[in-house]
């Protein structure tokens, strides 16, 4: 009987230990699952091969991998950023609990890279700055101060981009004028049409080209003084070529008196 009681006690103790072990395993599993869920919702920024890469936590308690958003509209916004040697120590080795925090950190990087590009006179550099500003526009979690800074950069982009496009337009118009002159002096069947078109557009193209050149060269407000000789010459030539010849009126005949 003593042996039976001893066996029953051992059986009860084993069952109790099993229950405790099961509870411990369940608790550890729940904790690991919770940590995995939290880690999967966090972001971080790391530098790989000279680019700043957005990392997203894995479905594990620790670890991260490059983030590839499922939404196509987010792919460009969170693609790797070429740093070109720029320092980003303030944003790396940090964990961001949501996308708003990530957006604010990314904006500081994009802004620091875009501003020098927007101050450049090189078209390619300006285009690079424009691309950075376009990326910053896709970040939704910005602070009010960051949105104000973004609006200022957008204004700078609009001005510089207008200058670049106007300068491109001027070169294309001048090239078109040159091609029209070649066509008008050839023996092709389009000679007459080219001559008429050249006669119609040459004064306006020259005037526009002169204006655009002066705009780029006189940013100090002396545009009118710089343009005055050229504009006056063009206006005089236009007035002389377009003014119709008026035949002199016949002299009035004296009325016959009775």
216-230 pLDDT per residue, tens = 654 444 444 444 454
Q: Which residue range is the domain that position 109 belongs to?
A: 43-142
Clarify whether residues 112 and 56 are in a common domain.
yes
> What mean pLDDT do residues 98-106 have?
94
- Evaluate whether residue 152 is within a structural domain: no
- Evaluate whether residue 34 is within a structural domain: no
Clarify whether residues 66 and 119 are in a common domain.
yes
Q: Is it the case that residue 4 has pLDDT exceeding 60?
A: no
Q: In this structure, is the dihedral angle defined by the CA atoms of residues 132, 134, 137 and 141, taken in order, positive or negative?
A: negative
For the ranges 5-14, 141-150, 179-188, the maximum mean pLDDT occurs at 141-150
> What mean pLDDT do residues 122-135 have?
85
- Token look-up 């960051």 returns 146
pLDDT band at 106 (very low <50, low <70, confident <90, very high): very high
Counts of helices then strands in the chain (DSSP H, E): 7, 5
- Evaluate whether residue 190 is within a structural domain: yes
Clarify whether residues 220 and 137 are in a common domain.
no
- Evaluate whether residue 59 is within a structural domain: yes
Helix (H) or strand (E) holding 26: helix 2-40
Cβ(133)–Cβ(153) below 8 Å: yes
Q: Is it the case that residue 40 has pLDDT exceeding 80?
A: no
Check residue 257 and give its pLDDT: 45
| % pLDDT > 70, the chain | 77
> What mean pLDDT do residues 56-69 have?
82
pLDDT band at 240 (very low <50, low <70, confident <90, very high): low
d(CA 109, CA 35): 29
Check residue 29 and give its pLDDT: 73
pLDDT band at 80 (very low <50, low <70, confident <90, very high): very high
pLDDT band at 86 (very low <50, low <70, confident <90, very high): confident
* Cα angle value 97/99/102 (rounded, 5°): 80
- Evaluate whether residue 256 is within a structural domain: no
Q: Give alpha helix (H) positions in 99-190.
A: 99-118, 123-137, 144-184
Greater confidence (52 vs 8) lies with 52
Residues with Cβ < 8 Å from 194, sequence gap 6 or more? 180, 183, 184
Cβ(47)–Cβ(88) below 8 Å: yes
Clarify whether residues 207 and 133 are in a common domain.
no
Clarify whether residues 134 and 213 are in a common domain.
no
Clarify whether residues 55 and 118 are in a common domain.
yes
> What mean pLDDT do residues 108-118 have?
91
Query: Would residue 5 be called left, alpha or beta, if left means φ above 0 and alpha means ψ between -120 and 50 degrees?
Result: alpha
Neighbours of 232 (CB within 10 A): 10
Neighbours of 67 (CB within 10 A): 17
The tokens describing 19, both together, are: 């229950």
- Evaluate whether residue 16 is within a structural domain: no
Clarify whether residues 83 and 127 are in a common domain.
yes
- Evaluate whether residue 207 is within a structural domain: yes
Clarify whether residues 108 and 59 are in a common domain.
yes
Greater confidence (205 vs 2) lies with 205
Check residue 118 and give its pLDDT: 83
Check residue 36 and give its pLDDT: 65
The greatest distance separating any two alpha carbons of the chain, rounded to the nearest whole angstrom, comes to 172
Q: Is it the case that residue 185 has pLDDT exceeding 50?
A: yes
Query: What is the number of structural domains in the chain?
Result: 2
- Evaluate whether residue 105 is within a structural domain: yes
* Cα angle value 236/238/242 (rounded, 5°): 125
Among the residue ranges 2-16, 37-51, 210-224, the one predicted with the least confidence is 210-224
């Amino acid at each position: 009987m003593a042996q039976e009681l001893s066996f029953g006690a051992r059986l009860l103790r084993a069952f109790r230990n099993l229950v405790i072990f099961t509870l411990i395993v369940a608790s550890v599993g729940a904790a690991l699952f919770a940590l995995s869920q939290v880690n999967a919702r966090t972001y971080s920024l790391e530098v790989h091969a000279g680019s700043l890469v957005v990392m997203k936590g894995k479905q594990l308690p620790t670890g991260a991998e490059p983030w590839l958003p499922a939404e196509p509209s987010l792919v460009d916004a969170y693609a790797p950023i070429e740093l070109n040697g720029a320092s980003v120590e303030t944003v790396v080795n940090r964990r961001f609990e949501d996308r708003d925090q990530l957006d604010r950190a990314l904006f500081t990087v994009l802004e620091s890279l875009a501003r020098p590009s927007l101050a450049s006179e090189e078209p390619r550099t300006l285009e690079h700055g424009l691309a950075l500003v376009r990326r910053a526009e896709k970040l939704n979690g910005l602070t009010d101060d960051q949105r104000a800074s973004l609006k200022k950069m957008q204004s700078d982009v609009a001005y510089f981009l207008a200058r670049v496009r106007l300068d491109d337009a001027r070169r294309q118009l001048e090239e078109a004028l040159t091609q029209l002159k070649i066509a008008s002096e050839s023996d092709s069947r389009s000679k007459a049409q080219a001559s008429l078109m050249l006669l119609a557009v040459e004064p306006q193209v020259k005037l526009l080209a002169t204006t655009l050149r002066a705009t780029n060269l006189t940013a100090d407000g002396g545009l009118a003084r710089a343009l005055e000789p050229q504009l006056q010459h063009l206006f005089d030539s236009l007035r002389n070529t377009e003014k119709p010849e008026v035949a002199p009126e016949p002299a009035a005949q004296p009325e016959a008196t009775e």
